[in-house]
Structure 1
């Protein structure tokens, strides 16, 4: 579904990414980890068509990415909900902007899926941070994207809520699989969610290692097998920063 071919991006004298080669399957969940400043968020913006590569190619569903696509959604660290719009109206916003027609039933289905049935008329300030991010997740799914790009979507939440939303995302992916590229600083979160984990080196970001997580789902934090993969990843991160 996603093909990155010798991808590089510079910002003036700063080399953010260099030589990125990566393939992501249509139902595959790929996490990207690395130290701050290694180009993780830049990578997502390139795939989303919000930035142009300095060199290399980006293909989604066989087509070169030159601008944002309707079948690719991007979820940020902060919910960024419009404060004057209800929960339902916030979820429906991408469908309205893209002219996709009436998606009310789809929005209600998504809100029910993430446990927010009955909150359709609430305003964002009436919700907890975790509930706001659930709304943001529904908004990212409203146009049924083939690709979801997620930039540390749970990092601003407390540990308990973060775990709950990670488990919620795992359930959503099991029920409605799609290609996901998920940037995180949390090794445990990456191991819980991903089929493969890409370890980026410090700037310029290069792929240092790709680690498979061949464990059945659903998964739960604290599993011995997950802890073993987490320890291996910590060792890899130590290598690239040594």
Structure 2
């Protein structure tokens, strides 16, 4: 569905040039949920804007469904950190905003909007104004607005970062359910390792600036996933720990991109035995 080939991006300014991304090669399958993880300033949001057609790549090619991305497209929706709801419009009218902007049939999409609001737990709030909703509810409205046109691709730029930890987890569970029912292709930028493991089929780890593809990690854990007590808690914790170790490692300058399951770093045998002994002594 999404193909990136040698994508690079350099910004020029009065103080010189800044290389944000270098040589990104990535394929995202139809219906796949891919999280992009990395330190601040590694180019995650820049990469998302290039896929959306909001920013051109300096080098390389981007295509969605086999068509080159040269500008913003109706089949690609984007969700930002802030809900950006229009304060004078009701919840339903905010969800239907893309319908008006693109000249789609309102009657057809009104039924879709009501269905999405019900799915997001917002049934009965259609006539409320944004200031009457909590931050989490506002972001649910924004998510419904992104999905109302049935986009092929949904790009999400840290959409839960401004919310408290409990609301973030609730919305992560909600997003899993929406994805399982709609099967949109999703690329999700996050700083949160737990969020990436909770949501993604694969996690793409970028190196510090200039952002390069450091490793692609498969998250082979059955859905739905939670961070609470469940049958897969140990697998979630292990994947989170492995990604944390990967992000803490210093990358070799000549390191090539890796791909594999989430079992990234194994301690030496002697160190593992010491850790096991220490664990028994506690």
Larger Rg, first or second structure (1 or 2): 2
**Aligned-pair CA distance for 1:176:** 1.0
Point out 4+ residue stretches in structure 1 off by more than 3 angstroms.
none
1:154-188 Cα offsets, whole Å, 9 max, x none, are 01001111100000000011111121000001000
Q: Does 1:180 align with 2:186?
A: yes
* Aligned residue runs from structure 1 range 67-216, under 5 A: 67-102=71-106, 103-216=109-222
What secondary structure is seen at the aligned counterpart in 2 of 1:100? coil
Tell me how far 1:241 sits from its aligned partner: 6.6
Structure 2 counterpart of 1:226: 236
What is the match of residue 249 of structure 2? 239
What is the deviation of 1:136?
0.3
2:17 paired with 1:7: no
In the alignment of these two chains, the number of paired residues is 242
Contact 1:151 1:183 in 2 (8 A): yes
Distance 1:79 1:219 in 2: 25
Higher RCO (Cα < 8 Å, 6 or more apart): 1
SS in 2 for 1:14: strand
TM-score (normalised: structure 2): 0.85
* Structure 1 alignment gaps of length 5 or more: none
User: Which residue number in structure 2 is paired with residue 20 of structure 1?
Assistant: 24
CA–CA distance in structure 2, aligned partners of residues 159 and 96 of structure 1:
34
Residue aligned with 1:31, SS:
strand
Q: Which runs of 5+ in 2 are unaligned?
A: 253-282
Please state whether the residue corresponding to 1:221 is helix, strand or coil: coil
Native 8 Å contact 1:201 1:240 kept in 2: no
CA RMSD of aligned residues (A): 1.0
Aligned-pair CA distance for 1:95: 1.3
Residue of structure 2 in register with 1:46 after alignment: 50
CA distance in 2, matches of 1:185, 1:155: 8
- Equivalent position SS for 1:229: helix
Find out whether 1:65 has 2:69 as its counterpart.
yes
The offset of 1:240, in angstroms, is 4.0
Mapped to 2, the partners of 1:98 and 1:4 lie a distance apart of 27
TM-score by length of 1: 0.98
For 2:8 and 2:147, locate their aligned partners in 1 and report how far apart those are by CA, in whole Å.
Answer: 29
TM-superposed deviation, 1:101: 1.1
| CA gap 1:241/1:133 in 2 versus in 1, 3 angstroms | farther
Please tell me whether residue 56 in structure 1 is matched to residue 60 in structure 2: yes
- CA distance in structure 2 between the aligned counterparts of 1:97 and 1:16, rounded to whole angstroms: 32
SS in 2 for 1:198: strand
Q: What is the distance in 1 between the residues matched to 2:234 and 2:113?
A: 37
Find the aligned partners of 1:72 and 1:232 in 2 and give their Cα distance.
Answer: 32
Residues in 2 aligned to 1:15 and 1:50: alpha-carbon distance in whole angstroms: 18
